[in-house]
Amino acid sequence: ETATKGGYEHFMYKEIHEQPGALRRTIHGRLNPLNGGVELEAFPPGTFADVEQIHLVAMGTSHHAGMYAASLMAARGIPAFPFMAGEYAVTVPPVTPGTLVVAVSQSGETADTLDAVRRARAAGARTLAVTNVVGSSITRECDAELLIRAGPEIGVAATKTFSSQVTALTLLTERLAEDVTGSKSGDAHDIVDALSRLPGDVQEVLDTATASAIAAEYQDSDAYFFIGRGIAHPVALEGALKFKEISYEHAEGFAASELKHGPLALVTPLTPVFAIFTGEEDEATLSNVKEVQARGAPVVAITGDTDGEISEFADHVLAIPETHPDVAGVLANVQLQLVAYHAAKLLDRPIDKPRNLAKCVTVE
């Protein structure tokens, strides 16, 4: 076991550090910086010309990647809706032959996700698997597959596969935008550029991380909250999921807009709030930051704006390199992976095998 951890104390920490390499594989041969295009081997231009709407079905971390992608797609004019696969399987929303169901699953074996795919197919939808595992059940159940190529992930808490899922789904989004709306998204060049820089940007986060000091400073808190808007919302949910899975501390993620509608009642000086800024809707999230600070909560901002207003108001900043807002969520998530890891390590938790959880849930 020691050998395969490659000198790291935990698989999770190793896998966090493998992200630059994983992302290089995810994008390899799929970007054309010259024309701002995305080239997906199995999906030549026109493949998705008759797609009318997208349903993204997944569980856990993969569901957060699905939510992230749905935001990207909707912003490009593609009707796209994320579903928790377990719920989708219970109440299949109306599908037509123009519905593309994108099933996101690291393992390709999650029972709820497989069930959702079967039901969608039975209702007449086209299906596409986004997975890490070649030959997995989901690739057999779906009409087509897009591999994320992150490499094997052993830690129960998914890390590098989330980054690779979001990146592969961003590629898919650009491909879909061209086919469904008839033209490349206005930002295609910038996105392709940001994706090509992403492995290096993640490396920069890993090299300069101050997450362990943040984890230490707030280790005696009552609860940990994570907030964000747009794509930062699923990143907030993922940050909280990672934190609770491996530290066993109470952690919750919220849409920043939701705060006033309940969660604010939980906010005290002993509930640090991690606020995720991607460069889009930052002003509104900053006003939420001021609201929680007025209740005494310490605020950790995850942002690329390290010398502006956000840093002025935040108690601490976890910096990310400046990039396109659609890609910034991946970098913010790496910071949150590190916070969760260090918090769990301080508590001496069995990080790679948290109690009661499994890497792959093959029962409903």
As annotated, the active-site residues are 359
Q: How far is the CB of 202 from ligand G6P (least distance, A)?
A: 19
Residue 175 CB contacts under 8 Å (≥ 6 apart), including other chains: 38, 40, 43, 45, 47, 48
Residues that bind ligand G6P (CB under 6 A): 59-62, 105-107, 110, 113, 156, 158, 357, 359-361
- Following CA atoms 337, 258, 277, 269 in sequence, which dihedral angle do they give, to the nearest 10 degrees? -70
Give the per-residue SS3 of 163-199.
Answer: HHHHHHHHHHHHHHHHHHHCCCCCCHHHHHHHHHHHH
Q: How far is the CB of 61 from ligand G6P (least distance, A)?
A: 3
Q: Which is nearer to ligand G6P, 104 or 171 (CB)?
A: 104
The neighbouring-strand residues paired with 300 are 274, 316
Q: How far is the CB of 343 from ligand G6P (least distance, A)?
A: 17
Q: How far is the CB of 110 from ligand G6P (least distance, A)?
A: 3
How does strand 31-32 pair with strand 37-38? antiparallel
Q: Which is nearer to ligand G6P, 19 or 303 (CB)?
A: 19
Length of the chain: 364
Q: How far is the CB of 278 from ligand G6P (least distance, A)?
A: 22
Q: Which is nearer to ligand G6P, 113 or 185 (CB)?
A: 113
Sign of the alpha-carbon torsion through 23, 26, 30, 36: negative
Q: How far is the CB of 60 from ligand G6P (least distance, A)?
A: 3
Q: How far is the CB of 62 from ligand G6P (least distance, A)?
A: 4
C-alpha angle 192/150/178, rounded to 5°? 30
Q: Which is nearer to ligand G6P, 184 or 233 (CB)?
A: 233
For residue 364, the tally of other CB atoms under 10 A from its CB is: 12
Q: Which is nearer to ligand G6P, 117 or 314 (CB)?
A: 117
User: How far, CA to CA in Å, does 119 sit from each of 84, 92, 114, 130, 273?
Assistant: 14, 7, 9, 17, 39
Reduced to 3 states (helix: H, G, I; strand: E, B; else coil), residue 275 is: strand
Q: Which is nearer to ligand G6P, 150 or 327 (CB)?
A: 150
Reduced to 3 states (helix: H, G, I; strand: E, B; else coil), residue 351 is: coil
Q: Are 112 and 364 in contact (CB under 8 A)?
A: yes
Reduced to 3 states (helix: H, G, I; strand: E, B; else coil), residue 300 is: strand
User: CA 28 to CA 103: how far, in whole Å?
Assistant: 22
Q: Which is nearer to ligand G6P, 110 or 170 (CB)?
A: 110
H helix runs in 209-324, sequence order = 211-217, 232-247, 282-294, 309-313
Q: Are 110 and 361 in contact (CB under 8 A)?
A: yes
